[in-house]
Structure 1
Amino acid sequence: MKQSELSAPKAAVLGIQHLLAMYSGSVLVPILIGSALHFSSEQMTYLVSIDIFMCGIATALQVFGNKFFGIRLPVVLGCAVQAVAPLIMIGQKFDIQTMYGAIIAAGVFVFLIAGPFAKLRRLFPPLVTGSLITVIGLSLIPVAFQNLGGGNVAAKSFGSGANLIVGMFTVLLILAFNVWGKGFVRSIAILIGLIGGSVLGGLMGMVSFRPVIEASWFHVPTPFYFGVPHFEWSSILTMILISLTSMVESTGVFFALGDVVDRKIESADLKKGYRAEGLAVMLGGIFNTFPYTTFSQNVGLVQLSGIKTRKPVMFSAMFLVLLGLLPKIGALATIIPNPVLGGAMLVMFGMVAVQGIRMLQEVDFHDDKNLLVAAISIGLGLGVTVQPQIVQALPKTLQLLFSSGILLASVSAVGLNLLFNAKTPPAELPESDGLNEQAGAQARKGDKHD
């Protein structure tokens, strides 16, 4: 289907698909942090609904954008999962106000460092970004399998026949509509899988409407809901380090999406993307939610649907804002059974990993140095993801950093590439030349038709 043929109603449906793909992952962050810090039921209700509202605002900053901020790619922003452990630690060691003060300070840091960090794009050739994106996809697959089994590993029902049947039915439904569906139907294969899997799950007693019944009808976002923020240096430093991790991950996602939508990503694009994330993190701290980052799972959705325009994500941003104001409607997305989400995640995360492998095809692996860079980086990233306890002897702050497979793969890929390929000709990664300027102009021209 041609992008120009994508009508508003079809784009809206695709937007719902993007929303459902990221919804559970984003809602999980406030639930984990709020539970660990013993938030009341009323506080949890605020936390979840305002989180969804801010996901919409954060996504809008990136997707709509302007000359100063926003990368204008079909990206969806949600709560940064890597921030969960450090935020719980800050909240328990200090208080909630200190936690939000650290988030605001980290957002200011990201916004201010956007320009210098974007100039480091030469550090991310296909060898590095391909390895990073492959690790992102593969490291997320265990999360998909956890959901596929039922979500809670300790539960007696984990891995039950019912969970596996519902999860695999979702996978097969997505595959069927993706292979045999045509046009618009094919592009919403994930959404059809989520709905079909939920219907089957409902027939098997997996769906409860209690969250919908208990949710209120309307909610008003309130700045500094939990009080005036406190600023404490060690907490701020911790969140800055986590923000740098998110920026590295976002860099990989930006390049992956650029590859999917056939758009050359320049330093100026990265700078605007980082600035938008910085603004989103600051707003998260002000409205007492959490740091926001680009969600990698939606890359697989863009690849699978074949729809490369920003229109669906624009609708997704608007829907997220609406759902954040109407908790009862927003709660509908929470009734999707975990096995159904796991089945959809399996397909999408696998697509992300394959996208990374496709980028690695551009690399000359007849050169053993390139082979070593990719092998060691992917190995380290997946290794620490599977066995995070290997860093348990390190100081707490370092544990938070080096237990991240994505960060470890990034540091390894960038460092080893610089060590082995320091003399790589600049022509391979031009900062700006006539061809790139022409490509950028064409991309900007295409954006106007989004």
Structure 2
Amino acid sequence: MAVHPVDRLPGPGKLLASGLQHVAASYAGVVAPPLVVGAHVGLSPVELTFLVGASLFTAGIATLLQTVGFWKVGARLPFVNGVSFAGVAPMLAIADAQSDRRDALPVIYGAVVVAGVLGFLLAPWFCRLVRFFPPVVTGTVITLIGITLLPVAFGWIQGGHPERPASPTGLGLAGVTLVTVLVLRRLLKGFLQQIAILLGLVVGTLVAIPAGAVDTTVTRHAALAGFPGPFHFGHPQFELPAIVSMCVLMLVCMTESTADMLALGEITGRRADEKVIAAGLRADTLGTAVSPFFNGFANSAFAQNIGLVAITGVRSRFTVAACGLIFVLLGLSPVCASLIALVPQPVLGGAGIVLFGTVAAAGINVLIGAGLDRGENLLIAATSLGVGMIPVVSRSFYDDAGVPETLKVVLDSGVSAGCLTAVVLNLAFHHLGAARSAPPARSARGD
């Protein structure tokens, strides 16, 4: 019996090369969320390096769960799982709700554990709920993810101090990085084009060296090998407002992963049926529930790797399993993980404009196909985007409005607030409203 291309094991050379390509395509996405959250809660460079390494390690574990799998866990498709961009905004909101941001990580970890367990239990039934997350909802949420993260990129350009004007050096480094990424994306092809952002970060960092903007202290003192010991930042703490916010995020991540599995199934020629999707969601959510024990965050599918599968034509899930193994090894080497700490914040900001802007553009692309010519869909998207933008424009908008703290943490995340608004409005316009209008329609036909 012929082996399906998804299940074929390539030779060692092709396995390693293809695995490295997937690492290159997703590395920046894996390390960006811990950089954002770590900087926001005030971690030192050494602690930030540790957090990046932990995220690489847990992303590798989640990817292996997805590609190799066990029991009913894992879609067994060439699927990279990494730290979800969608989780950044709610985690920043949770941090802002603490009296001291430095105490936020245990609260975030507790919420992520609960959200992961809830998602794992819901996986067998979630496929039946996807009808409540049509393109108008998912497109709105993805757009908000990008929009709410763009101010983070601007803050990086300002050296991590959004209240201060950007310096000429910061603007220059961000500009060099941004232009480099755009030029490389335009001129390069294939594998090199896939790693244009990574190459842009390298170029920006090299330019920053003579400007005195690179701090090598962390790398000089980093160990060659290490392990992200459990509960490095404290044992998980469970606070209801944070849990609600992360559970909403989990539903969003599960929706995105479902869409990605359907797309990848078409590309690989192995259609993702309900059984495959349920197994894939179990891998997503189990990886998320386990990650906080090793100081990681929520994991979900990385769509950019789906494009890589389509471009290269290499459909073997074992090439992505090799990527997961490389992530694990990187996470076990602090000196490798510390290399990202060499990148100055303005350089990250220049790349972040492309990175986060691409997420927003992807959401807009989904909305284009969501039927906005229908008045109700336009209202759903417009209202949800407006509600989601409130905390982006004004972080103190709800401070004196008498909003309960449980609800405030959700509303202070543009992604969570926009998602809830979109789901409720979609129910009102397309489900509850449709049910109410059904009898009059039958009556009209009867006349």
Smaller-chain TM-score bracket: 0.7 to 0.9
- Provide the residue aligned with 1:293 in structure 2: 299
Structure 2 unmatched ranges of 5 or more: 1-5, 435-447
Cα shift at 1:58: 2.7
1:365 shift after superposition: 2.8
Kindly provide the amino acid, as one letter, of the partner of residue 57 in structure 1. I
% of aligned pairs identical?
30
Matching of residues 159-174 of structure 1 within 5 Å = 159-174=166-181
Amino acid of the residue matched to residue 82 of structure 2?
L
User: Is the alpha carbon distance of 1:323 and 1:222 closer, same or farther for their aligned partners in structure 2, counting shifts above 3 Å?
Assistant: same
Contact 1:256 1:299 in 2 (8 A): no
Correspondence list, 1:106-125, <5 A: 106-125=115-134
Matched, 1:351 2:358: yes
**Aligned match of 1:78:** 83
**2:390 pairs with 1:390:** no
SS of corresponding position for 2:213 = coil
Specify the code of the residue in structure 1 equivalent to 2:224. Answer: W
Aligned pair partner of 2:146 in 128, 137, 146: 137
2:217 is the alignment partner of 1:193: no
In the TM superposition, residue 186 of structure 1 has moved relative to its aligned partner by 2.1
TM-score (norm 1): 0.77
CA distance in 2 between partners of 1:45 and 1:194 (Å): 17
* 2:37 is the alignment partner of 1:29: yes
- Choose from 54, 61, 64 the match for 1:60: 64
Change (3 A) 1:322 1:27: farther
- CA–CA distance in structure 1, aligned partners of residues 195 and 127 of structure 2: 34
Matched, 1:422 2:431: yes
Q: How far apart, in 2, do the equivalents of 1:162 and 1:312 lie? A: 41
Alignment of 1:326-365 (within 5 A): 326-365=333-372
Q: Which among 226, 231, 251 is matched to residue 248 of structure 1? A: 251
State the distance in 2 between where 1:384 and 1:91 align: 20
Alignment: residue pair count: 411
Deviation at 1:123, TM superposition (A): 0.6
2:20 corresponds to:
12
Distance 1:267 1:202, change over 3 A: farther
Cα displacement (A) at 1:101? 6.0
Counterpart of 2:223 in structure 1 is 216
1:318 to 303, 317, 325: 325
- Structure 1 segment 200-239 matched on structure 2, within 5 A: 200-223=207-230, 235=238, 237-239=240-242
Name whichever of 354-363 and 49-58 sits farther off: 49-58
Relative to structure 2, which stretch is displaced further, 333-342 or 355-364? 355-364
CA deviation after TM superposition for structure 1 residue 423, in Å: 7.7
Take 2:233 and 2:206, find their aligned partners in 1: how far apart are those partners?
39
Partners of 1:113 and 1:86 in 2: CA distance: 24
Could you tell me which amino acid in structure 2 is paired with residue 160 of structure 1? S
1:369 corresponds, among 363, 376, 382, to: 376
Secondary structure (helix, strand or coil) at the match of 1:77 reads strand
Q: Which moved more, 1:412-421 or 1:251-260?
A: 251-260
Distance 1:386 1:121 in 2: 31
Q: Rate the CA distance shift 1:224–1:126 in 2: closer, same or farther, 3 A.
A: closer
User: More displaced, 301-310 or 365-374?
Assistant: 301-310
Cα deviation 1:326-385 (Å, max 9, x = unaligned): 112210111111122122221122222222222222233332111111111112112332
**Is residue 16–residue 316 contact of structure 1 (8 Å, CA) maintained in 2?**
no
Unmatched runs of 5 consecutive residues or more in structure 1: 426-450
**Match of residue 447 from structure 1:** none
